Amino acid sequence: MRPVDEKILETMRDEGNMTPSALEQLDVTVANYASNRLSKMADYGLVERVAQGLYRITDDGEAFLNEELDASELESVEDID
């Protein structure tokens, strides 16, 4: 996890489903970087892609924000399959 990841997750919790460009418009981070971070967080189940370029926070993402889940304990979804 990177410091901006928590800010992305908090914004998604408050605003709902987000695209990388929407995160950029809210001054969270630049769209290209947001896209990379959202993809990485999706690999670990903190967000999920609901459509091309559109993501939502998952229950695990909420649990992370609520300090109920330690990100270091997450496994890549790709490793599980």
CA–CA separation, 61 and 47 (whole Å): 6
CATH number for 3-66: choose from 3.30.450.270, 3.20.20.10, 3.40.50.11900, 1.10.10.10.
1.10.10.10
pTM of the model: 0.87
pLDDT band at 41 (very low <50, low <70, confident <90, very high): very high
CA–CA separation, 48 and 27 (whole Å): 21
**Beta-sheet strands, E only, within 7-73:** 47-51, 54-57
Which tokens in the block code for residue 76? 């890549």
Which tokens in the block code for residue 52? 């091309």
Q: Which of 24-28, 33-37, 77-81 has the lowest mean pLDDT?
A: 77-81
The pLDDT of residue 72: 82
